[in-house]
Amino acid sequence: MGKNRWFLPLTSFLGFAFLYAPILSLVIFSFNANRLVTVWSGFSTQSYVDLWNDPQLLPSALLSLQIGAIAASIALVLGTLCAVALVRFRRFRGKTVLQATVSAPLVMPDVITGLALLLLFVAMESIIGWPQGRGILTIIIAHATFCTAYVTVVVQSRLSDFDYSLEEAAMDLGASPVRVFFDITLPIIAPALVSGWLLAFTLSLDDLVIASFVSGPGSSTLPMIIFSKVRLGVSPEVNALATIIIGAVALGVIVFTITQMRRPRAKA
C-alpha cells in the first residue's frame, strides 16, 4: 500500500503537468515584450495590438465562426435524422450500409476526406457546372459531411437509452409520429442536440486539412492562416489569439462544470 500512496498522485500530477505546461507557457509568452517569444524580456500587450491590426487573423476567425455555425447546423439536422432512422426504424433496406457510411468518417484520415471531396467538386464542376469554383460553400459542405457522423453518434447514444413509454402515451392520445417527435422526443434529446452541435462546431473550427483541400482563393479559414504563420516559427499574434481562445473556452467549460456540479446538490 505504501507504494500506491505516492504512485498515483505523482503520475497524475506529471500527466496533468504534461498536458498544461505547454499551454501555460504559450499564455505567459503572449505577454512578452520580445518578438522572439521564447526569451522573456518584460511584460507587454504588444502582441494583442499586433493581433488586432493583423490583416488576416481576425477576418479569417470570423469566417471560421460563420462556416462552423452553418456546417454544425446542417450536420445537426442530418445527424439527428440519421440517428432517428438507425435507432428507431426496426429494419429497412440499406440500414447496414447507412450505419457503415455514417460511421466511416470517424475513422477516415482527413487527407483522404479532403482529397476525395476536392476531386468530387472538380469533377462535378466540369460535368454539371456546380459548385462554381471552390470557396466558402465547398468548405461548409465538407464540414457538414464529416460533422454529421459525430452528431449521429452523440444523438444515437441518447436515443438508445430513451423511455419509449412517453412516446407511446402520446401516440395513444392520438398524436401523429411527426407531432410526437417535435413535442416529446425533441425536448428529451435536446441536451444531446446541444452537445452534438457544439462538438460539430468545434470540429469545424479546428479543421485544417479538409478545409485546405476544398477552399479556394479568398476563403482561408483561421486554422489555414495560423498554420501558414506558425509553419516557419513562432508568431506572437498567434500566441495572443491562442490565449484569447483558451481563456474563452476555459471560462465556458468551468462555468458548465460548476453548474453541472451544483445541480445534484440543489436537488438534495
Partner 1 sequence: MTTGPAYARPAARWDVVRRVLARFGISGRALVIAAPAAWLGVFFLLPLAVVFGISLAEKQFGRPPYSDLLTTEEGTVQLTLHLSNYIRVLSDPANIYINAFLSSIRIAAVSTVFAILIGYPMAYAIARAPEKWRNILLMLVILPFWTSFLLRVYALSGFLRGEGVINNFIGLFGIPPLTMMQTDFAVYVGIIYSYLPFFILPLYTNLVKLDPALLEASADLGARPVTTFFSVTLPLSMPGVVAGAMLVFIPAIGEFVIPSLLGGPGTQMIGRILWDEFFSKTNWPRAAALAITMLIVVVIPIMLMQRAQNAVVEGRR
Min dist CB 57 to partner 1, Å, is 12
Helix, strand, coil tally for the chain in percent (to 5):
80, 0, 20
The window from 20-28, 45-53, 155-163, 185-193 that contacts partner 1 (CB under 8 A) reads 20-28
How many secondary structure helices (H) and strands (E) does the chain include? 12, 0
CA distance 234 to 188: 47
| Nearest to partner 1 of 105, 188 (CB atom) | 105
Min dist CB 58 to partner 1, Å, is 15
CA distance 36 to 250: 27
62 binds partner 1 (CB under 8 A): no
Q: Which of 38, 45, 157, 259 binds partner 1 (CB under 8 A)?
A: 38
Min dist CB 217 to partner 1, Å, is 14
Window 65 to 84, contacts with partner 1 (CB under 8 A): 77-79, 81-82, 84
The three-class DSSP label of residue 233 is coil
Which cell numbers in the block locate residue 47? 502582441
Window 167 to 186, contacts with partner 1 (CB under 8 A): 170, 173-179
Min dist CB 110 to partner 1, Å, is 7
22 binds partner 1 (CB under 8 A): yes
In contact, 202 and 194? CB cutoff 8 Å: no
Min dist CB 190 to partner 1, Å, is 18
In contact, 180 and 170? CB cutoff 8 Å: yes
Binding mask of the shown chain, residues 223 to 262, with x at each position contacting partner 1 by CB under 8 A: x--xx--xx--x---xx-xx--xx--xx-xxx--x--xx-
Window 93 to 152, contacts with partner 1 (CB under 8 A): 94, 98, 100-105, 107-113, 115-117, 119-120, 122-123, 126, 141-142, 144-145, 148, 152
Pairs from 181-190 (Cβ < 8 Å, separation ≥ 24): 181/84, 185/84, 188/162, 188/163, 189/80, 189/155, 189/158, 189/159, 189/162
CA distance 80 to 151: 7
